[in-house]
């Protein structure tokens, strides 16, 4: 891991435009999870910057990633959008399922329409990811102190 300058504190707001539009830009985010030594990666079209400390996404498939998230909350999220010629972003943190009904609805309200159409009965589960480290290409640019 290289760092050319001292990483700043976590503030995801500078990445919101890239992350929030990733699906519509044809570049869905990739979520990496692992449990019991078995990794999994999955595309996340609903990934969004929730606030300065958190990413959020809507889990609607309930496949391996869902099970892995419940067993091991440590995740990596990858952004790469060749059509926009932007540098790769990697976010590292811990995910948790959201059970609060009000927060669940607030996250649902911000999910992109194309993802909402994939869960018309609104049966998915929102997750928040508290980000501890952000890499831009090879450099750690933000880190929790």
Dihedral sign for Cα atoms in the order 109, 110, 111, 112: positive
Please name each of the domains of the chain with its CATH number: 12-139 (2.30.110.10)
One pLDDT digit (tens) per residue for the chain, 145 residues: 554 578 899 999 999 999 999 998 999 899 999 988 889 999 998 999 999 999 999 998 877 788 889 899 999 999 998 877 778 999 999 999 999 999 999 999 999 998 899 999 999 999 999 999 999 999 999 999 8
- pLDDT value of position 1: 54
* Tokens standing for residue 125: 């589960």
- pLDDT value of position 105: 97
- pLDDT value of position 50: 98
- pLDDT value of position 103: 98
Contact 26, 83 (CB under 8 A): yes
- pLDDT value of position 2: 53
Contact 131, 92 (CB under 8 A): yes
Task: Report DSSP letters for the chain, one per residue.
Answer: -B-SSPPBPP-GGGGHHHHHTTTTTT--EEEEEEETTEEEEEEETT-EE-SSSEEEEEE-S-SHHHHHHHH--EEEEEE--GGGTPPPEEEEEEEEE---HHHHHHHHHHS-HHHHHT-TT---EEEEEEEEEEEETTEEEEE--
- pLDDT value of position 4: 59
- pLDDT value of position 66: 83
């Amino acid at each position: 891991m290289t760092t050319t300058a001292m990483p700043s504190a976590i503030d995801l707001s500078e990445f919101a435009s890239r992350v929030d539009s990733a699906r519509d830009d044809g570049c869905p985010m990739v979520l990496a999870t692992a449990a019991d030594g078995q990794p999994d990666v999955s595309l996340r079209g609903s990934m969004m910057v929730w606030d300065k400390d958190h990413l959020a996404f809507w889990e609607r498939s309930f496949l391996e990633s869902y099970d892995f998230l419940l067993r091991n909350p440590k995740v990596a999220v990858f952004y790469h959008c060749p059509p926009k010629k932007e540098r790769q972003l990697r976010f590292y943190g811990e995910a948790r399922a959201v059970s609060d009904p009000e927060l669940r609805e607030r996250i649902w309200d911000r999910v992109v329409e194309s993802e909402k159409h994939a869960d018309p009965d609104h049966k998915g589960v929102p997750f928040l990811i508290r980000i501890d480290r952000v890499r831009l290409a090879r450099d750690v640019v933000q880190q929790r102190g």
